[in-house]
Amino acid sequence: MNVIVRTLVDLYEALVRWYHSWRYGPVARRLGKTDGAGHGLIVVQIDGLSHDELLRALSGGHMPYLAQVLRAGEGEAYRWFSGLPSTTPAVQAALMYGTKHGIPGFRWYEKSTGAYPVCKLPGFVNRLQARLSAGRTGILRGGSSYANMFDGDASTSLFTLAAIGGSSLLQRAGVLPLFIILASSPLRVARIAALSVWTYLSELWRRVSAFFWPSKFGRLSLLSPFIHVLTDVLVREISTFAALVEIHRGVPAIYVNYTSYDEWAHRFGPDDGHALRALRAIDGQLKQLDRMRRWGGRPYDLYVLSDHGMTACVPFDTAFGQTLGEFIDGCIEGSTRTDEAIMGPVDLQEPAALLGYETEAVEDDLDGLSREVARSLRESLEKRVEAEPPEPAVRSDVVVRDSGPLSHVYFNAVADRPATLEELSEFYPGLVRRVAGHPGIAVVAVRSPDGPVLVTAAGVFPAVRESAAAVFTGLVEATELLDEVVRLLEFSNSGDLVVLGRWGWWGRPDQVVSFERQRGTHGGAGGHQCDAFVVAFTAPSISLDGVRTASDLYRLFLSYQSEPLAVETEGVVTDTASAPVEAVPTRRQPQR
C-alpha cells in the first residue's frame, strides 16, 4: 500500500514539474537558467497594510490563503516600526540598501538648486538610487524586482521606477513572446478575463454613482473603467507571472510589490470595501507564489511584509477651510510668494504610471500596428496620472511640500542652507509658535545652534528623550518617533520646519490630520502609519522577534547573498560578517 501511495505521489510531483517546465520554461530559456545554489529569497510587499489592519483582514476572511498558512503554524505575523517618513521611498530604500538618508518624504525641496524632487519620476528615482547604492549592496543582486520604487541591484525588473528603460523583463524576454506565453494558460486567461469584467463593471458603477456622491467618487469618465482593468488587473497579473517565471528559473532573490491596497486606501480609507477587495486579490497572487516556490527546484524562503501602515485621516483644508500653505502665508506680515503642492487621490496612479513608463520604454522595439497601440495606451495612461505642479519661474519666499500628515516648510530668506529657530524668529517673529499652536498640528520640529527643538501648543521642548512623552502624547513609540524626527532634521534637504499633523482627531486615536486630500494617509506619526508587519515562511521556521526596523530586515535579507558583502549604514562601512546583528534573527547558511 505504501508503495502505491509513494508511486502516486511521485507521479503527481512529476506531472507538476512537467507542467511548470511547459508553462514557464520558454520564458526561462529566453532569460537563461541560473545555477540555483543555496536558499533563495522571495519578498512580497503589500504596500500600506498596517499590522492591525492585517489582523482585521485575516479575521474578516479577506485574506483566506494567508490565514490558512498562519493557522497551520507555518508563519507568524510580527509588527515592526517603519519610522519617519513612513513612505515607500524611505522605507524601501532602507529595506533594499540599508539606508534612507536624504529621503525626507515623498516630495521635498532642494534649497541649493531650487529643485522640487518627487519620488514618482523614473529619472529622478534612478539618480536617487545611484546615490543610495554607492558603497552599499542591494538585497536583490542577481535577482528580480517587480513594481517597486528601487531595484535593489536586480538583474531583471518590471514596473520598477529606478530601472525603467534599463533591465526590463519586457526588453529581455520580448513583448510578444511574453504575452503569447502568458496567454497560453487557459485558467490564467479565464481568471484575467473574469477579473477584468468584474473590475470594469465595478468601476463603471462607481463612476455612475459619481452623479450622486461626487465628493467621494470623482467625476465620470468612460475611459476610466478600461484604465482600471489595465492597472488593477493587468499589472498585478503580469508581475505575478514574471515572479513565477523567476522562481522556475531559480534566481537568487525576488521582490514583488502589490500597490492596489495602498491606492484604494488613500482614496476611501484603510478599511473600505474597495481596499479590502484589493487585499483578497493580492492574497490570490500570494497563493500562486507560495505554491510555486514549494514545487520549484531551488528552495526559497518567502517573506510577506508591508513597508508602512495606513490610518484614517481628515484633510487639513477640509477641517479648517485653508491649506497649510495658506495658513502660514496668513501668519506672515507683508506680501510673500508661497509655493505649495496639494495633491488629491487619483485612483491607481502608481500602477498606471508604471505601465505607461514600461510601455514607453519598449515602443522603439515595436513596429507597425503594435507600436501605434503601445503609443495610444501610453498617452491614455499619461492623461490619467496627476501631474506635479510645474516649478515656479521665480524662487518663492515660502515652499511647502507635503507627504500626507508630514510637511516640510522651507523659507528662502535663508537660501543656501536650513534656517534655525533663531533666524526664523528674526525674519518672521512669532511664526513658529503660531504654526505649532494650530489645532490641526501636533508638532513642529526646527533646528537650533543648541540642538533640535520641538514646538507644540504646550511649549518648546529640547529634542531629548525626556521630552518624548510630552511631545508625542499618547503614542506608544514616543521615544522612537523623537529619534526619527531628530534624524530628519539631520538631512540637509528636510524643511526648515518639519510639521506633523495632529493625531487623535475628534477623539479617535487612529485618525490624524493630513495635509493632502485623502481619506487614508501615511508619512507621519499617529494611528497605524508606522505599524508595518512581516511574516516569514521558512523551513526551518525562524523567529522574527528581533526585527524592529527596516535596517534589521535589510541585514536579514542580505544574509541570503552567497558571500560576505560590504554594508554601509548611515556613512559607516562595515562587513556583514562583523555587522551588529545580535538583535536580528539569524538564518541558516545557504546549502552548497
- Which residue, 79, 106, 112, is CA-closest to 93? 106
How long, in residues, is the chain? Answer: 592
Is residue 401 a contact partner of residue 109, using CB atoms and an 8 Å limit?
Answer: yes
- What's the CA gap between 50 and 187, in Å, rounded? 32
pTM for the model stands at 0.83
DSSP string, 361-421: HHGGG--HHHHHHHHHHHHHHHHHSPPPPPPPSS--SEEEEEETTEEEEEETTS-SSPPBH
Helix axes 273-295, 260-268, angle to 10 degrees: 170
State how far the alpha carbon of 325 is from the alpha carbons of 250, 434, 455, 491, 501, in Å. 51, 13, 18, 22, 13
Is residue 311 a contact partner of residue 269, using CB atoms and an 8 Å limit?
Answer: no
- What's the CA gap between 185 and 190, in Å, rounded? 9
SS3 168: strand
pLDDT of residue 120: 85
For 176, the grid coordinates are: 510578444
How many CB atoms neighbour CB 88 within 10 A? 27
- What's the CA gap between 394 and 409, in Å, rounded? 17
SS3 464: coil
- What's the CA gap between 83 and 487, in Å, rounded? 10
pLDDT one digit per residue (tens) for the chain, 592 residues: 565 545 554 454 445 454 555 455 555 555 566 666 688 999 999 999 999 999 999 999 999 999 999 999 888 899 999 999 999 999 999 999 999 999 999 999 999 889 999 998 888 999 999 999 999 999 999 999 999 999 999 988 888 988 876 655 544 444 444 554 555 566 666 666 666 666 666 666 665 665 555 555 454 455 555 556 666 677 888 899 889 988 988 899 999 999 999 988 998 899 999 899 999 999 999 999 999 998 877 899 999 999 999 999 999 999 999 999 999 999 998 767 888 876 655 444 555 565 566 566 555 655 666 566 556 655 655 555 555 555 655 678 999 999 999 999 999 999 889 999 999 999 999 999 999 999 999 999 999 999 999 999 999 999 999 999 999 999 999 999 999 999 999 999 999 999 999 999 888 888 999 999 999 999 999 999 999 999 998 766 677 888 999 999 999 999 998 644 444 444 333 333 323 333 344 443 333 2
State how far the alpha carbon of 277 is from the alpha carbons of 54, 261, 281, in Å. 13, 8, 6
Is residue 345 a contact partner of residue 519, using CB atoms and an 8 Å limit?
Answer: yes
pLDDT of residue 351: 57
- Which residue, 197, 205, 182, 307, is CA-closest to 257? 307
pLDDT digits (tens, 9 = 90+) for 463-473: 999 999 999 99
Is residue 147 a contact partner of residue 44, using CB atoms and an 8 Å limit?
Answer: no
- What's the CA gap between 252 and 137, in Å, rounded? 14
